[in-house]
């Protein structure tokens, strides 16, 4: 059996080199691979060889046919590097649609630039990329490279489908390793793609063939959750001179604590005394932590500097104490150091932070790097653990919504590491409550005082207005209440309760001719301040499942006073909708002769849903939009 396999491998490799030539001809692409594709990866070969646990040689080749201008970004002819990565070989060849060579690029023809992230002040990462303007489409780019590095902690993941609108004809991943070192691997989202796995001792070989392009759809999960990818690590690796031998999260955490974190929390006696003075007389550890967090917010700022091991290891707490700035690692470690001084237990925690998706650290796949992009601080607590975002100077204590909430993270303790789930902001906690008193005059003008209280994730959607200039605030409310024509902001104020984590806004407005005239009637939509207007797009056949990452609740209550000369001709009927996605109710009632009360409640549930349910989801929204714009008719009393 084994014998047979190796023959097939040899046959495979031979056939690859011989039919590689035809990969350069754009015209031969199977039409199925062109569906929804702006570019086709004709061939992608990645060979990674470990001559030892601390030497990784990567040889890569990509042949990509670009079908149109949008596909240019998928050529992928760029190579990131830093001081630790030695580029041995780099080049590219451009072919026209018939496979004729048009242009050749050697290593020095690549543009070399700093590859600093937008949020950083300094990084040592650089990139070499191919700058080529296509003459016509389709065209094909053959790109090849070879690199050597002593950093073996991160092995590039194999993703046979690289992006939306890109298909893959053939993608091969080969990894050669020392059996005595061993590897750890995990294949994700295999699905029913044509992926062959031919593994032999000391070698992994994966071949993906004819994988069709997919298109993004609204509310779909993130791309990586939809496509197959392979994660691999060495059981013993080297990183910037450090060596680790770990294969479970506990020992990984122990190693990281001992090698990279321990002894980095010393602080000067002066700072220790200062922080002790601040918590003097306070016993409750959470109260102490609040004071420390506030101290960090008041005294430091976030500056990202990533260089060498500094990309992984925090700078010394004493260093942060001296310059009063740091990146997420430095500030988190500094906060921990201060908490140590006052006797509050806390742990350095690595997390994948992202606003749009809640991304977990994989419980079942242990890796040193590649799964996280941020560091926060965990304070264990009997009731519910606390999570501190140490890079923000303004965030409330223990507020992690919209960034590091509701996901598995890697908590590092002196005893070892563990995977812990961060706070989930629940549908009922993510509350936006809008209360208003409104008076309408005979010309259809409205005058109102609106009060909006936001909590949970919705706090984060509202509080950013706090420090804007007066002019920008006015413009913000004009856009927020864009449904009201000719809006005049009479006055506005907010209060930010960071203790309860509630942001309250009070806005006084005048809306000229909000109610529209239709002959002798005034038409008036009672949902003035929180109309849903956008409907999820329509798909004739939905291909992908969908997801609501965080649930929320909106409550609206408006008391409407009419002038005595107007009477109600018609009111809309109350509605109440309840389904798996959430619920919606709206009603308007006459309270007294000239007073109406409008009430509305919208709840959207967090959840993963099947593509078959998308139509029902969209219908739910269509109904909400319909009812939100429902009008009542007012008539002049004759």
Partner 1 sequence: MKKLILVALVLLFNLSFSQDYKFGKVSKEELAEKSYNNDSTVHAAVLYKECKIHYDYVQDEGFKKFVEVFERIKIYKKEGFNWGTKIENLYDENATREEKLLNLKAYTYNLESGKIKESKLKKNGIFKEETNKYWNQYKFTMPNLKEGSIIEYRYVIESPLIELDDDIFQYTIPIKKLSYQLKVPEYFRINKVLNTRASYVPEITERNKSRKFLVSYHSAFANGTANASTKFSKENLVERTYDIIETIYEADLQNIPALKTEAYVDNIGNYRAVAKWEITSIKGFDGSVTEYSTDWDQVTRSIYNRDDFGRELSKTNYYEEDIKSKLKGVNAPEEKVAIIYNYVKSKVKWNGLRGYTSELGVKKAYKEGAGNVADINLMLTSMLRYAGLDANPVLVSTRNNGIPIFPNTSGFNYVITGVSLESGFILLDATNKYASANILQENTINWKGRVIKGNGTSAWIPLTPQTKSKEIALMSVEINDDLSISGKIRKQFTEYKALGYRDAYYNVKNETIVKHFEEGKGEIEITNFTVNNKESLNKPISYTYDYTLNNEVEEIGDKLYISPLLFLAPDDNPFKQDSRTYPIDFIYPTYSKYSVTVKIPEGYAVESLPENAKIQLNGSDGEFSYIIKSSGNTLQVMVTKDLNKTLILPNEYSEFKQFFQLSFEKQLDKIVLKKA
Residues that bind partner 1 (CB under 8 A): 68-70, 103, 111-114, 116, 121-122, 133-136, 298-299, 301, 303, 305, 319, 322-325, 393-394, 467-471, 474-475, 478-479, 482-483, 485-487, 513, 516-521, 523, 533-535, 537-538, 569-570, 572, 622, 625-626, 630-633
Least separation in angstroms between CB 271 and partner 1: 13
Least separation in angstroms between CB 92 and partner 1: 15
Closest CA to 346 of 411, 406, 410: 411
User: For residue 149, what is the enclosing H or E element?
Assistant: strand 139-149
327 vs 408, beta carbon nearer partner 1: 327
Least separation in angstroms between CB 519 and partner 1: 3
Residue with tokens 């590649």: 370
The residues pairing with 432 across neighbouring beta strands, listed in sequence order, are: 454, 554
Closest CA to 9 of 200, 228, 211, 208: 200
Least separation in angstroms between CB 336 and partner 1: 20
55 vs 513, beta carbon nearer partner 1: 513
Least separation in angstroms between CB 327 and partner 1: 11
Backbone angles phi, psi at 10, to 5 degrees: -60, -45
Least separation in angstroms between CB 303 and partner 1: 5
**C-alpha span between 197 and 239 (Å, rounded):** 29
353 vs 522, beta carbon nearer partner 1: 522
330 vs 551, beta carbon nearer partner 1: 330
What single DSSP character describes residue 318?
A: H
Least separation in angstroms between CB 201 and partner 1: 45
391 vs 427, beta carbon nearer partner 1: 391
Distances (CA, A) of 199 to 170, 186, 189, 364: 18, 13, 19, 20
Least separation in angstroms between CB 520 and partner 1: 7
Least separation in angstroms between CB 582 and partner 1: 19
**C-alpha span between 412 and 252 (Å, rounded):** 9
Contact (CB, 8 A) for 385 and 420: yes
**C-alpha span between 509 and 513 (Å, rounded):** 13
- Residue 519: helix, strand or coil by DSSP? coil
Cis previous bond, 475, omega within 30: no
**C-alpha span between 229 and 186 (Å, rounded):** 8
Q: Give the gyration radius of the chain's Cα atoms.
A: 30
Least separation in angstroms between CB 476 and partner 1: 10
Residue 187 tokens, joined:
């294949």
Least separation in angstroms between CB 537 and partner 1: 6
Query: How long, in residues, is the chain?
Result: 638
The residues pairing with 58 across neighbouring beta strands, listed in sequence order, are: 48, 147
383 vs 573, beta carbon nearer partner 1: 573
Contact (CB, 8 A) for 168 and 128: no
Contact (CB, 8 A) for 391 and 328: yes
Residue with tokens 């032999």: 200
**C-alpha span between 635 and 638 (Å, rounded):** 9
Contact (CB, 8 A) for 74 and 66: yes
**C-alpha span between 234 and 244 (Å, rounded):** 10
């Amino acid at each position: 059996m084994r014998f047979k396999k190796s023959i097939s491998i040899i046959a495979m490799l031979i056939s690859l080199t011989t039919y590689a030539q035809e990969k350069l001809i754009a015209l031969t692409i199977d039409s199925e691979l062109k569906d929804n594709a702006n570019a086709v990866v004709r061939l992608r070969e990645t060979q990674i060889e470990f001559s030892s646990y601390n030497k990784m040689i990567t040889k890569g080749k990509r042949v990509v046919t670009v079908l149109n201008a949008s596909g240019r970004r998928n050529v992928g002819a760029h190579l990131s590097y830093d001081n630790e990565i030695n580029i041995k070989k780099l080049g590219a060849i451009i072919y026209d649609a018939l496979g004729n060579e048009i242009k050749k690029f050697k290593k020095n023809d690549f543009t070399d630039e700093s590859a600093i992230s937008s949020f950083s002040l300094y990084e040592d990462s650089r990139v070499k990329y191919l700058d080529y303007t296509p003459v016509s489409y389709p065209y094909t780019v053959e790109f090849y490279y070879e690199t050597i590095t002593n950093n073996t902690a991160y092995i590039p993941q194999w993703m046979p489908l690289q992006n939306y609108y890109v298909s893959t004809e053939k993608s091969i991943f080969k990894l050669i390793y020392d059996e005595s070192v061993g590897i750890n691997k995990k294949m994700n989202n295999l699905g029913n793609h044509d992926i062959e796995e031919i593994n032999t001792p000391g070698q992994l070989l994966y071949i993906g063939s004819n994988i069709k392009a997919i298109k993004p759809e609204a509310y779909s999960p993130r791309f990586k959750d939809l496509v197959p990818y392979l994660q691999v690590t060495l059981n013993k690796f080297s990183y910037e001179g450090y060596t680790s031998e770990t294969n479970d999260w506990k020992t990984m955490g122990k190693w990281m604590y001992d090698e990279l974190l321990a002894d980095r929390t010393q602080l000067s006696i002066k700072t220790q005394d200062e922080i002790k003075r601040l918590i003097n007389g306070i016993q409750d550890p959470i109260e102490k932590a609040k004071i420390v967090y506030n101290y960090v917010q008041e005294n430091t700022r976030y500056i990202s500097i990533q260089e060498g091991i500094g990309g992984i290891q925090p700078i010394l707490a004493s260093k942060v104490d001296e310059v009063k700035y740091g990146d997420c690692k430095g500030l988190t470690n500094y906060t921990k150091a201060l908490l140590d001084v006052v006797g509050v237990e806390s742990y350095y925690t690595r997390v994948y932070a992202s606003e749009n998706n809640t991304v977990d650290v994989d419980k079942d796949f242990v890796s040193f790097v590649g799964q996280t992009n941020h560091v926060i601080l965990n304070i264990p607590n009997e009731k519910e653990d606390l999570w501190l975002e140490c890079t923000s100077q303004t965030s409330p204590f223990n507020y992690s919504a919209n960034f590091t909430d509701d996901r598995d993270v890697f908590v590092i303790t002196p005893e070892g590491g563990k995977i812990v789930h961060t706070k989930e902001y629940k549908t009922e906690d993510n509350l936006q409550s809008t209360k208003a008193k409104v008076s309408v005059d005979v010309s259809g003008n409205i005058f109102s005082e609106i009060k909006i209280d936001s909590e949970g994730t919705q706090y984060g959607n509202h509080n950013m207005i706090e420090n804007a200039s007066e002019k920008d605030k006015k413009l913000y409310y004009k856009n927020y209440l864009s449904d009201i024509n000719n809006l005049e902001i009479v006055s506005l104020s907010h209060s930010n309760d960071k203790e309860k984590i509630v942001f309250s806004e009070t806005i006084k407005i005048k809306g000229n001719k909000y109610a529209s005239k239709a002959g002798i009637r005034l038409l008036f939509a009672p949902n003035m301040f929180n109309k849903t207007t956008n409907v999820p797009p329509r798909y004739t056949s939905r291909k992908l499942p969908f997801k609501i990452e965080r649930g929320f609740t909106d409550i609206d209550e408006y008391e409407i006073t009419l002038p005595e000369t107007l009477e109600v001709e018609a009111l809309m009927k109350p509605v109440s909708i309840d389904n798996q996605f959430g619920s919606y109710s709206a009603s308007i009632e006459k309270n007294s002769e000239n007073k109406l009360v409008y009430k509305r409640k919208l709840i959207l549930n967090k959840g993963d849903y099947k593509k078959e349910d998308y139509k029902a989801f969209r219908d739910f929204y269509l109904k909400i939009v319909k009812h939100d714009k429902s009008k009542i008719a007012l008539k002049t009393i004759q």
